[in-house]
A and B are shown apart, each in its own frame.
Chain A
Amino acid sequence: MWAILWKDLLLELRTKERVSSLFVLALLIILVFVFALTPEQLKQPAFGSALLWVALVFAGMLGIQRALILEQERNCFTGLLLCPIDPGQVFFAKFLSNVFFLTVVEAVVAPLTLALLGLPFSVSLLGLPLVLLCGIVGFSALGTLCAAIAVRTRAREIILPLMLLPLLVPLFIAAVHVTGALLAGEVWTGTWFRVLVAFDVIFVVIGWLTFGFVVQE
């Protein structure tokens, strides 16, 4: 499992393809929204959190798909399956590499977004990394599973969002609410946060259990 993770990182260092494209895409999405909304609207914490997550979900979706397409180039995924590695571990490796790359991207994009929107930096923002990480974990778990399905069908660009977005609804609502509360300086560790964590736990376990059915041919 660490071997796969090591290889993914090495591959990324070599090509710099995923992080850079993710980063630019996330920024572009935010920019489009900034142009579409009025300055007063942008100052509201609710908009800020919605924007962060819209950018993360759409850029992340492409990033996750990209990771698996990369793996398919010389049918390397088959090579991976030949190895004496449990499919559950393959899932964890892919999942962790997705979490890692999204975190790296978000570490830059999130502060940048807050600055662009003119939201005040305050002590309450210290919780933001944790919330973002929780969202990324759930998103990557479900995303890795769905992308593994989508990548081997025709029209994979369409089928991935089609599958992923409705399933992500709870994560999305919860994450936006928690982040919104956090940006507004309110209490954010309430029910919504629990929904977010529950989503993470459930889909990491589900992904781990069902990945075997998805990857074998």
Chain B
Amino acid sequence: MTQQTQRTQQAQQTQETQQTKMNTWVVEAHNLHKTFAWTPVLSDISFRIASAEVVGIFGPNGAGKTTLLRLLAALLTPTSGRLTLFGSASSELAVRRKVGFLGHESYLYPDLTPEENLTFYGKAYRVPDLKGRIAQQLEHVGLQDWRTMPVRYFSRGMEQRLSLARALLHAPDLFLLDEPDTGLDPRAVSILHASLAEAKEQAKTVMLTSHDFERTRELCTRALILHRGRIAWQSEATLPSPQEFVELYTACTR
């Protein structure tokens, strides 16, 4: 108990010096380990993320980026270590309601229409004023004219945009994106960037994985490099320039 209060005090102190004022960290990972097929995929991951940060997680394929994101989304449970989101365990339902996740797959039912898909997810998340919210989201991703067509007939770009609407439907405070810049069409990218800018304005926290630093840099306020399941480098208060970053990246992932 006393240890914990001490820890939070410490946390608050460091926080006040670095960041704007707030009560708890959005993400607090302490010595996270995750194995798959009894092979370590992530080892010794510790970091803290405050509210309103946009964190880019970089690294080559197989570095554990997706696994880390899935841990944060409570799709996986850590093998050992402590992970808290908004001050409580990541698996708690109240926490999960605050997390939005955009993965490689759309998680949309192909035989349902966009409206039905969003209604289902909205009910599951207990979104207030669901109808208005869905209309607003569909307009945001430019699919309001397609709302009664089953998703099966959608193009890939449309499905991705709808997936974005799904992930943002419950206005998450922590938004997790897995490789948002691979395989998106230009329109989806511009919508995504608009959403991220908006999220930044509203002091929401964003974490995204990428292996394309140049395109993601302007969005991020912080960066991590993962290599072979470990954090190889974490940015300081300011992000390095693109050239510096490339050098760092090659040095870390050698």
Give the B-binding residues of A (Cβ under 8 A).
Answer: 2-4, 6-7, 10-11, 14-15, 73-76, 78-86, 216-217
Contacts and interface: CB of A to CB of B under 8 A. Distances in A.
Interface stretch (B50-58, B106-114, B191-199): B106-114
A82 B169 CA distance: 13
Given A74-B107, A76-B108, 8 more contacts: A7-B112, A14-B150, A74-B105, A81-B75, A82-B96, A84-B96, A84-B124, A217-B70
Given A4-B124, A74-B108, A82-B107, A10 B116 contact: yes
A84 B109 contact: no
Interface in B80-129: 93-94, 96-97, 99, 101, 103, 105-112, 116, 120-121, 123-126
A216 B76 contact: yes
Nearest to A17: B111
A217 B34 CA distance: 11
Interface of B: 70, 73-77, 93-94, 96-97, 99, 101, 103, 105-112, 116, 120-121, 123-126, 150, 166
A83 B124 contact: yes
A113 B198 CA distance: 62
Chain A CB within 10 Å — which of B73, B94, B97, B110 has the most?
B110
Given A4-B124, A83-B125, A74 B75 contact: no
Contacts of B99: 82
A11 B119 CA distance: 13
Given A75-B105, A82-B101, A3 B112 contact: no
A19 to B, nearest CB: 14
Contact of B124 (A3, A73, A74, A216): A3
Contacts of B105: 74-75, 78
B96 A74 contact: no
Given A73-B110, A74-B108, A217-B76, A83 B103 contact: no
Contacts of B125: 83-84
A6 B77 contact: no
A11 B111 contact: yes
Chain A CB within 10 Å — which of B94, B111, B124, B126 has the most?
B124
Contacts of A83: 96, 121, 124-125
Nearest to B77: A216
A75 B107 contact: yes
A81 B103 CA distance: 13
Given A14-B111, A83-B121, A78 B103 contact: yes
Contacts of A6: 120, 123
B95 to A, nearest CB: 8
A98 B48 CA distance: 43
Contacts of A74: 105-110
A79 B112 contact: no
Chain A CB within 10 Å — which of B70, B76, B105, B111 has the most?
B111
Contacts of A85: 93, 124
Nearest to B70: A217
A45 B76 CA distance: 51
A76 B107 contact: yes
A84 B107 contact: no
Contacts of A81: 75
A86 B74 CA distance: 12
Given A4-B124, A6-B120, A74-B106, A82 B112 contact: no
Contacts of B75: 78, 81-82, 216-217
A93 B254 CA distance: 49
Contacts of B93: 84-86
B97 A82 contact: no
